[in-house]
Structure formats: C-alpha cells, structure tokens
Chain A
C-alpha cells in the first residue's frame, strides 16, 4: 500500500469531476474502445458537444427546455418525519418530480438538442426498465426527431406499460433477443445498429458509460442535479454543504450528476449499488460497450448478468469515472439487497408520502442502515438524490407486499 513518507501528486482533476484527461481518461478508466467503424462518429459527437457546451446559446436553449418541458428546478425536500426517526437531517433532491418521472430526461434533452445541432434526424437508445427509453421517445417527439429504442425481450415482458408509452410517443421499440435479453444486450444491439446508421442517427446513451465522450457528456448533462442541490443547500444550511451525499448507482448517471456538484467540497460521497449488480463494489477491470471500467465477470472473462429487483440497476458494470472515484477514495460504493430496498421504499411512502422508484430506494436503504448502525453520527446532514418515482414499480410492490 501507500508509503506515507513518499510524495504523491495531488489528486488529478478527475477527483473533482471535471473534464476527463487525454484520450477520455478518468485515471486508468474510460477511453474509446469502440470498433473502428464507430470511432469517427464518437469524434463527431465529442467535437459537437465540446462546441455546444461552450456556447451560451446552446446552454440557454437547454435550460429553457429543462424549465418549460421537464419542470426544473426540482425541489429539495426535507424528509422531516423520517429524519426525526433516524436522528439525521435527510434532504431529498426530487428528480422524481421531473417530467417522465426520473432524472433520465436531463441527459436526453441535452443529447436530443445536440443531435439536432449535428443535423441528425433520429435517436437510437437502449433501455432497461424503460425510463431512458420513455425519456428518449419524449425528447424525440418534442424536437421532431425519430426514435428507435432497443429493449431486451425479457424487459419488454416485465415493463409492458412503458413499451406502450414509448410507442404512443411515436418511437419504434425493437425487441432484443440475444444473450440475457436485458439491458446489457439492448446496449450491445443499439451499438450494432449505430454502426450502420452513423450518418443520420445519434446514439443517445442513457448512462455514464460507453466510449468517450459519453461518460463525460452524460455527466455534464446530469450535473444540473448536483448544481441545483448545491445552491439549494447553501440557502438551507448554514454550513452550505451536507456531510454526506448519497445516490444509487447502476451505470451511475444520477450519482455522477449529483456528485459533480459536491466533488470539490468536504461532503462524503456514497454510491449505492444493488447487491446483484455491484460493478463498483465487486467488479473487475475490463472493457465493455466502449469503455474501460469495472465489470462483473466470471472466471473466464465473460460478462455476468446483473440481477436486481430494480431494472435500472441491472447493468453489470459502472461508469469509468465512478471506478476512478473509488480508486481515489473520493467516493465510496456500498451495496444493499432487494429486500432492504423494498423496505426503504415502504418506509418513505409511509413517513413522507413519497413512493420512490426501486432504484432510488436503494440509496435510502443505505441511509437507513447507516443511521441505525451508528455509521452516521447523530445530526449528520444527508443529501439523497431521489432519482425517480415509483409508479413504474407499483406492480412489483403489489406482488411483494
């Protein structure tokens, strides 16, 4: 391990969640491990994003869409009754109140606007539970683009209402029958499809994964969560920042966006993974879907299927910047079980009148456990991103409760 007497350079810029280093790197992770046929398309997305993100006109248009269409800013809600029971001060960043019901819309509006700027007429997306697919279908309808959404056959069976919702919004939903027929395979199929369609289509990746510039770009589009919360906290608390910032992590987009607002503060960052999909906590270095990061693998190097009651956490890896934050020790990654998540969802429903998405319930489950186990000193201030609303999970809750 580290020898305290030797000099170590200060944490690289990645530790404060800025732009990636050369060749799209967050420490050793990230990069652009794309088939040669997709490299040019990735370059074009990077150039367009770099230019757009510097352009106040683009930023203004996006801010307008986020306000008028998506309902931003979202409130910061003190969870009063639950806080009292836990002995901490818990605040919820309410991404569940955005249009379409989850933080996914933040990223999708950004990418859809970028696609328009690049002259692309069609969005390609992968989806697991359907939240990113619905958000993509929504943004496409709003901006007059076509949308093709790839979804595993098993997820289509589990989430038939979201499939109908996407079709109602005018999107084409393509069932994916390969592999485990879930999110991982839908992502592979979307990439295959993009190879043949790069001239007129933009691949709208839903999380902080994929080849450079996607992990960076998606984080930037989600940064609005953390930036808003930072401002809201400054107004709410004398200390200005919470002691702890907590978010659930599948690929890790809502966590990346939340952490980005606090990476340069004293707040401790905690990412909560599903026990059956813990890329950051239990993954091993590898390359999948265009980036080097941490992935669940078997003894031969084959990617293992993730299993979680929360379809949005059903990805067998984690975004490269999370892997980097883990290595730096800047963020900590923990896991909770399906049962803990369901219990936390019920508790939030009954104490605060909010039914959270099963994904978000994972973050809450860890807060409850940490507060009960003495890991959180009494009176700690905690920000938790409530990434989505639980409507999509009502059928699952009904089966279990």
Chain B
C-alpha cells in the first residue's frame, strides 16, 4: 500500500511500525484508569515488562462491549471517584514511559464535553491514541476529523463478521493500528484463541499494511504466541484486570506481562 497515511502517521503508528518492522511482536496491556489508589504504578510496570503501547480505560457506567471482569473494574474505579478528568490528571503527572498511551472508552464520555475538548484534554495528558468501543466507522466522521486536528490517533475496530469492503474502509481510516476483535463476543478471558482470529487478520492483511493488534480473549503465553502468528501483536485486558482485582501489585503484573513478552519474542517469524 502506498497510501499517504504512512507519511502522516502519528506517534502510535510510527512507534508500532518501527518495532514491528524490527521483528518484534507487539504487546499492549490494558488498565482501567483509577481502579486502585496506585494505578499509575501499574503503568510503569507495564512499560518495564516490555509493553509497546499502553491502553488506559476511561471507565463508563454502561460498558456494553465489556465482559464481567472489565465491567467490575469499571464499577470499582467509578466507585473510587474515577472520572475522565481525574484519570487524565493522573497521567499528566507521569514521567515519559517511553511508549505511547492509548485511551479507550465509550462515546458518551467523548460527547460529554464535546470531541474538541475531549481530544485536547487527551493531548495535554500525553495520550496519543483513542479507542471508542461503540463508535463504528460509519459514525466516526465527527470524531475522526477533530481527533486528527488535535493529533490524537483514532483507532477503529474490525470484527469477524465485518464484510471485506467495510474492512478496507476501516483499515484505511483507522489511525495508530487496526484493532482486530478476535471473536464474536465481549472482552474477557477464553480457554483458547478463537478460530475467527486467523481468518479476520488474514482479511485485514489483504487491505492494509498498518499494524494489526488482536484483542479479546488473549491471556496466556500460548495464546499470545498463536496470535502472533496471525497479527503484529496482542492486546491483553481482562487477564490483567482479573489479577488487579485479586490484589496483584506492580511486581506481579510485571512478572505476568514478562511471560507474554517472552512468548511474543520467541515467535518472531513474520506472519504469512
């Protein structure tokens, strides 16, 4: 693909492309912002474990695309008083972690102060990318334009049932990377990587060379290794949040993510 988007790529995409092109399997762990008093320490642990980007959830009261684990972590964070403003203030106080930060949320929180103010606040907090679970490509115009103007990369999601022509549009309009949803379901741990993951990433590859990260149901080193055979990397959310719920501290999370890092490093054949 020779589309000009590569030239215009932002911090997330440049960073991920450079690492991918160096043969590295990409790892993006997720944390619900504000879930514990010391939640920003978890982000440092993510970076220390070899994360290539970090996803920070801005919790919403009605997370319709999330399974039980992230629903609960959102409830816990909100009960602790977390809000977009407070979480972004927490991020502003962090030293540079050396990897791009990607916020993820639901569209109601973007609309609350309006896309302009929301994207400006992300940038001030050092957030480069944005995932909005309930904003499909055909509704994305309003935010995409504002985000691009503010220098925020709006990541779009692709699903196993997305038709091929729509997949091409998603891949062309997504910024940062393409988020491949591995299965027809909500976020959460699964026993095995879904068969639909390989088929979907294969179809995305036909239409873009943008980095492709697989998410939903990836939690074990074996699943990460298998996902790496199809995609450029993985997103790990519920498996992290379950550990946080069960009391894991930064060292525990670092140890867990290191096992995924090693699995991704072992499997370094480029995907077919």
In whole angstroms, what is the CA distance A154 to B154 when docked?
38
A286 contacts B112, C-beta separation under 8 Å: yes
Task: State which residues 135-172 of A face B: CB under 8 Å.
Answer: none
Q: Which of B64, B106, B138 is packed against the most chain A CB atoms within 10 Å?
A: B64
Q: How far is B71's CA from A301's CA once the two chains are assembled, in angstroms?
A: 17
Of B60, B85, B111, B133, the contact of A285 (CB 8 Å cutoff): B111
Cross-chain contact A37 with B161 (CB below 8 angstroms): yes
Asked if A300 is at the interface of the complex by the 8 Å CB criterion, the answer is yes
Residues of B with C-beta under 8 A to A195 = 65, 184-186
Within 8 A of A (CB), among B53-101: 60-68, 71, 75, 78, 83-85
Does chain B have a CB within 8 A of A2?
Answer: no
The interface stretch among A254-262, A289-297, A324-332, A343-351 is: A289-297
Which residues of A lie under 8 Å from residue B68 when comparing CB positions? Answer: 178
Closest CB-CB distance, A66 to chain B, in whole Å?
A: 32
Cα A185 to Cα B72 in complex, Å, equals 13
Residues in chain B near residue A285, CB distance under 8 A: 111
Please, which residues of chain A bring their CB within 8 A of the CB of B166?
Answer: 39
CB-defined interface of B97-128 with A at 8 Å, one 1/0 digit per residue?
A: 00000000011110111000000000000000
- B109 near A35 with CB under 8 A, answer no
Once the chains bind, are A37 and B112 in contact (CB under 8 Å)? no
Contact B75 A286 (CB under 8 A): no
Q: List residues 261-304 of chain A with CB under 8 A from any CB of chain B.
A: 285-290, 292, 295, 297, 300-303
A290 in contact with B62 given A35-B157, A36-B158, A295-B108 (CB within 8 Å): no
20 contacts between A and B (CB under 8 A): A31-B139, A34-B134, A35-B136, A36-B162, A36-B181, A37-B160, A39-B136, A178-B75, A179-B62, A195-B184, A195-B186, A196-B184, A198-B161, A287-B106, A295-B108, A300-B83, A300-B112, A301-B111, A302-B60, A302-B61
Q: How far is the CB of B15 from chain A (nearest CB, A)?
A: 24
Task: Check: B163 CB closer than 8 A to any chain A CB.
Answer: yes
Nearest-neighbour CB distance to chain A for B126, whole angstroms, equals 21
Interface string of A171-211 (1 = CB under 8 A from B): 00000001100001100100110011010000000000000
The yes or no answer to A362 lying at the interface (CB within 8 A) is: no
Cβ of A58 under 8 Å from chain B: no
Closest residue of B by beta carbon distance from A301: B112
A37 to B159, CA, bound (A): 5
> Is chain A's interface secondary structure helix, strand, loop, or mixed overall?
mixed
Measured CB to CB, the nearest residue on chain A to B160 is A37
Known contacts A37-B181, A178-B71, A191-B64: does B107 contact A300 (CB below 8 Å)?
no
> At the interface, yes or no: A398 with Cβ under 8 Å from chain B?
no
Q: Which partner residue on chain A sits nearest B187 by CB separation?
A: A192
- Note all chain A residues with C-beta closer than 8 A to B133: 35
Residue in contact with A35 in the complex, picked from B64, B83, B112, B170, CB distance below 8 Å: B64
Find out whether the CB atom of A36 lies under 8 angstroms from the CB atom of B136. yes
Beyond A35-B65, A37-B161, 12 extra complex contacts between A and B, CB < 8 Å:
A32-B136, A32-B138, A35-B159, A36-B156, A39-B166, A188-B64, A192-B66, A192-B67, A196-B186, A198-B184, A300-B109, A303-B61
- The interface residues of chain A lying within 8 Å CB-to-CB of B135 are 33
A residues less than 8 Å from B156 (CB atoms): 36
Kindly list chain B residues whose C-beta atoms are within 8 Å of the C-beta of A23.
138-139
- Chain A CB count within 10 A is highest, among B71, B108, B186, for B108
**Is B186 in contact with A40, judged by CB distance below 8 angstroms?**
no
- How far in angstroms is the closest Cβ of chain B from A215? 15
B60, B106, B184: most-surrounded residue (chain A CB, <10 A) = B184
- Establish whether residues A36 and B157, one from each chain, have CB atoms under 8 Å apart when the complex forms: yes
**Chain B residues close to A by CB (< 8 Å):** 60-68, 71, 75, 78, 83-85, 106-109, 111-113, 133-139, 156-163, 166, 170, 181, 183-186
Contact indicator A303/B75 (Cβ below 8 Å):
no
Given A31-B139, A40-B162, A301-B109; A192-B64 close (CB under 8 Å): yes
The distance from the CB of B212 to the nearest CB of chain A, in whole angstroms, is 14
Contacting pair A196 B162 (CB below 8 A): no
Closest 10 CB pairs between A and B?
A301-B112, A37-B159, A300-B83, A302-B61, A196-B185, A287-B107, A286-B108, A36-B159, A35-B65, A40-B161
Q: Are A287 and B186 in contact (CB under 8 A)?
A: no
Q: Judging by beta carbons under 8 Å apart, are B62 and A188 in contact?
A: yes
CB distance from B174 to the nearest CB of A (A): 11
CB-CB contacts below 8 Å: A1-50 with B: 23, 31-37, 39-41
Among A34, A285, A297, the most chain B Cβ lie within 10 Å of the Cβ of A34
B109 cross-chain contacts in A, Cβ below 8 A: 300-301
Given A195-B184, A295-B108, residue A303 in contact with residue B62 (CB < 8 A) = yes
Bound CA–CA A179/B75 (angstroms):
7
- A40 touching B75 by the CB < 8 A rule? no
Which of B78, B109, B139, B156 lies at the interface centre, i.e. has the most chain A CB atoms within 10 A of its CB?
A: B139
A39 contacts which chain B residues (CB < 8 A)?
136, 138, 159, 162, 166
Report how far A179 CA is from B61 CA in the complex, Å.
7
Does A184 contact B159, Cβ atoms closer than 8 Å? no
Q: Which residue of B lies closest to A285 (CB)?
A: B111
Chain A's nearest CB lies how many Å from the CB of B115? 12
Most buried by A among B66, B78, B112, B135: B112
List B contacts of A41 (CB < 8 A).
161
| B65 to A: closest C-beta gap in Å | 5
Which residue of B61, B136, B181 contacts A33 across the interface (Cβ within 8 Å)?
Answer: B136
- A-chain residues with CB within 8 Å of residue B64 when the two chains form the complex: 35, 188, 191-192, 289
Contact B186 A192 (CB under 8 A): yes
Query: Chain A, 225-242, contact with B by CB distance < 8 Å: what is the 0/1 string?
Result: 000000000000000000
- Which residues of A are found within 8 Å of B138, using beta-carbon distances? 23, 32, 39
